[in-house]
Amino acid sequence: MDVRKWTIELWVSLTALTLSVIATVTSIYFSQASLRTSVQPTLVFVLSGDSGWSIRNVGSGPALNVVLAVEPDSGAGWQRPTQLYPIPAGERVRLPWVGLNPDRLGAVYSDAHNRAYTSIVDDDITEIMPGSRLRQWPRSDVRRDWQTRD
| Domain extents in the chain | 1-38, 41-148
pLDDT score recorded for residue 150: 55
Nearest to 99 by CA among 72, 127, 125, 134: 72
Q: Which residues contact 134 (CB under 8 A, 6 or more apart)?
A: 67, 69, 78, 81, 106, 107, 108, 118
Per-residue pLDDT of 121-136, as tens digits, reads: 998 899 999 999 999 9
Tell me what pLDDT residue 35 has: 64
Which class does domain 41-148 fall in?
mainly beta
List the pLDDT tens digit at each of the 150 positions of the chain.
576 777 888 888 888 889 888 888 888 887 776 666 678 999 999 998 888 999 999 999 999 999 999 999 888 899 999 999 999 999 999 999 998 889 999 999 999 989 999 999 998 899 999 999 999 999 999 999 888 775
Tell whether the torsion through CA atoms of 23, 28, 31 and 36 is positive or negative.
Answer: negative
- Share above pLDDT 90 across residues of the chain, in percent, rounded to a whole number: 58
Rounded Cα distance, 81 and 70, in Å: 7
